[in-house]
Structure 1
Amino acid sequence: MPAPAARAASIPLPARRRRHGFSMTAMADMLFQLLIFFMLSANLAPFAMLELRAGALGAPGAGDGAGRAATPAAVTDIRATAVWTLTPEGLTASGQRFGLDRVGLLAEALRAQGTANVLVVLRPEVPVQHVITVLETLSAQGIVSVQVADGTIR
C-alpha cells in the first residue's frame, strides 16, 4: 500500500480559486474628497438681495398688503416707460434683439433719455440669473422703478 503522502500527491486536488476582496473604504474616501471639492468650488453666494415690492406700475401705494386699496397714485406716462421682453436667448427692446451683455448699454441709454420706468416681460423658461442680471444692471444705472410681468401666452 502506498504511503498516504504519495497517495495525496497522486490525487489532483481542486484548485482553490483566489478571491479578491473589494474594500469600500477607498471608494468612500474618494466620494468624500469629491464632495469636499464640489462644495468648495461651488458658488455658495446666494443671489443678491433685491428689494421687491408688489404693486402697479407708477403706483407704489397700490395696496397695503391687507387687500385695502391705498390712495390712488399718479398714472405713469407710457412714453416714460420702456418695455423689455426677456427670453432665454436674450432681450427684446423696441423690436430689436440684444444679448444680455448689452443690458448695461441699454440701461445707460434709458437713463440718458430720461426714461424712469421699465416693464420687464418674462417669457417661459427664462433663467433666474438672467432676471437678476437685468434687475441689478437697471438698479446700478439708477432706474429703480422696474416692474416684472409674466409673459406666458395662454
Structure 2
Amino acid sequence: MLLPKEPHRRPLLALTPLIDVLFLLLIFFMLSSQVAPYSLIPLGGVFHGGGAESRPQEAIPVAAPVVLRVSHGYVTLGRERTAITDLKEAVEELRQQDIDRYLVIPTATANVQDMVSVLEVLKMGAAAEVTLINSGGGRQ
C-alpha cells in the first residue's frame, strides 16, 4: 500500500536575527547622531536693522577694531603673541582704553576649542562688536 505523500513544507524563516540586526542598527545610529550641533556658538547682541522703521543714527567716530589672529593655543594681538589663557588680561587692558571692537581671524592651526575660548573671553570682556572672518575673507 502506498502512503500518501506529505505536503512539501517550506522551511520556517526565523525573524529573530532580523529584528536583532534592526535594533543594533537603531542603537548605532542613535548613539552616533548628534542631538545638538557643537558648531553653533551663541554670541548674543545681534544687530537687526536697516528697515524702513529704523531711525537714522548719528555719525559717531568709531575706532578701528583690534585684529585677533587665533592660532593653536595662541592669539596674536597686533605684533604681540599672547597665550589664550592670558588673553583675559589683554582684553581688560584694551577695555580700559575704550576699545571694544574685535576682528577675529582664525589661522589654519586654530581648532574649535581655541575659537570658543577666545569668544568666551571677548564675551566676558563685554565686547561691543566681534566680527569673525574665515580663511576666504568672508564674514560670519
For Structure 1 versus Structure 2, the TM-score category normalised by the shorter chain is: 0.5 to 0.7
The equivalent of 2:66 in structure 1 is 82
1:75 positional shift: 1.6
> Is 1:104 the equivalent of 2:88?
yes
> Which of 70, 73, 77 matches 2:59?
73
1:136 maps to amino acid: E
In the TM superposition, what whole-angstrom CA distance separates every residue of 1:64-91 from its partner, at most 9, and x where no partner exists? 256x99444222245xx53222346642
SS in 1 for 2:31: helix
| Matching of residues 29-44 of structure 1 within 5 Å | 29-39=23-33, 42=34, 44=36
**Change beyond 3 A, Cα 1:30–1:143:** same
2: distance between equivalents of 1:71 and 1:143? 20
Residue 124 (structure 1) shift: 6.2
SS at structure 2 position matched to 1:146:
strand
Q: Sort the Cα spacing of 1:34 and 1:148 in 2 relative to 1 into closer, same or farther, 3 A.
A: closer
**Unmatched runs of 5 consecutive residues or more in structure 2:** 1-13
What TM-score comes out, normalization by structure 1 length? 0.50
SS of structure 1 residue aligned to 2:90:
helix
Q: Quick check: 2:106–2:115 contact (8 Å CA) kept in 1?
A: no
How does the TM-score come out when normalised to structure 2? Answer: 0.53
Match of 2:46 among 52, 55, 59: 52
Percentage identity across aligned positions?
17
For 2:6, the equivalent position in structure 1 comes to none
Provide the aligned length of Structure 1 versus Structure 2: 119
Q: Is the 8 A contact 2:69 2:107 kept in 1?
A: no
**Cα separation, partners in 2 of 1:27 and 1:99, compared to 1, 3 Å:** farther
Conserved? CA contact 2:102–2:127, under 8 Å = no
